[in-house]
């Protein structure tokens, strides 16, 4: 899915693994992650390969800028315990504030093939993500001490 500025949202490929790992391990991204631990590439790569290319229930979409550089990703992972999907998004901090998060999240939701509920778990301090998910159509349904929970029905 290409926009007017030649930003492309597409399904991730195995060769995107390293760049996704770099974004995921950025300190600003980890700070608001459910799992803030830094992962080695040796841990990340086989897990990424198995989860997104050997399993038809997990999806990863990436955003490439006009230079064909991956600047963000959106994961939609199946939660078999609750029969729904959990969504997360990360954008290289150098590209924050340019509307790219909205582009990526909107396109990923549109490209997502399943007809299931999608849930987002957002840290309460992450007001920008709260606004982003609302903008794309997610609706608040719960919260706990640490997170807000939003959902989107497809």
The per-residue pLDDT string of the chain (154 residues; one tens digit each, 9 = 90 and over) reads 655 567 899 999 999 999 999 999 999 999 988 888 999 999 999 999 999 999 789 999 999 998 899 999 999 999 999 889 999 999 999 999 999 999 999 999 999 987 889 999 999 999 999 999 999 999 999 999 999 999 997 6
User: Between vectors from CA 98 to CA 121 and to CA 29, what angle results, nearest 5°?
Assistant: 40
Any domain includes 100: yes
Any domain includes 151: no
**In the prediction, which pLDDT does 4 show?**
55
pTM of the model: 0.92
**In the prediction, which pLDDT does 66 show?**
87
Q: What is the CA radius of gyration of the chain?
A: 15
Q: How many domains does the chain have?
A: 1
Any domain includes 67: yes
Q: What is the CATH number of the domain that holds 40?
A: 3.40.630.30
Q: Which domain holds residue 12?
A: 8-113
Any domain includes 91: yes
Question: What is the CA 145 to chain-centroid distance, rounded?
Answer: 22
Between CA 71 and CA 91 the distance in angstroms is: 6
Any domain includes 150: no
Any domain includes 3: no
Any domain includes 141: no
Any domain includes 49: yes
């Amino acid at each position: 899915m290409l926009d007017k500025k030649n930003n492309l949202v597409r399904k991730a490929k195995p060769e995107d693994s390293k760049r996704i790992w770099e974004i995921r391990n950025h300190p600003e991204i980890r700070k608001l992650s459910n799992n803030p631990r830094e992962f080695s590439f040796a841990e990340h790569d086989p897990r990424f390969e198995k989860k997104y290319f050997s399993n038809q229930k997990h999806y990863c979409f990436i955003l490439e800028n006009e230079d064909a550089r991956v600047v963000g990703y959106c994961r939609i992972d199946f939660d078999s315990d609750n029969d729904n999907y959990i969504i997360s998004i990360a954008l290289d901090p150098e590209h924050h504030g340019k509307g790219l998060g909205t582009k990526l999240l909107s396109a990923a939701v549109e490209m997502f093939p399943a007809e299931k509920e999608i849930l987002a778990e957002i840290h309460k301090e992450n007001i920008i993500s709260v606004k982003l998910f609302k903008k794309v159509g997610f609706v608040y349904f719960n919260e706990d001490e640490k997170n807000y929970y939003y959902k989107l029905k497809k």
